[in-house]
Amino acid sequence: MLSVGIDLVEIKRIKNSIRNPRFCSRVLGKSEYAQLASRGFPVQSIAASFCAKEAFSKALGTGIRGFKLYEVELLREENGKPYLHLTGNAAQIASQQNKLFSVSVTHTKEYAAAVVIGEEKSS
How confident is the prediction along the chain (123 residues), in pLDDT tens digits per residue? 799 999 999 999 999 999 998 998 899 999 999 999 999 999 999 999 999 999 999 999 988 889 999 999 999 999 999 999 999 999 999 999 999 999 999 999 999 999 999 999 876
Residue 8 is predicted with a pLDDT of: 98
DSSP-derived secondary structure letter, 27: H
Determine which helix (DSSP H) or strand (DSSP E) holds 52, and give its type and residue range.
helix 43-60
**Is the whole model's pTM more than 0.75, yes or no?**
yes
What is the domain partition of the chain in residue ranges?
Answer: 2-120
CATH of domain 2-120: 3.90.470.20
Residue 1 is predicted with a pLDDT of: 77
**Residues with active-site annotation:** 58, 107
Cross-strand pairs, 106: 113
CB 27 within 8 A of CB 71: no
What share of residues in the chain are helix, strand, coil (percent, to 5)? 45, 30, 25
Residue 123 is predicted with a pLDDT of: 65
**Cα separation values, 30 from 17, 33, 61, 97, 122, Å:** 18, 5, 25, 25, 30
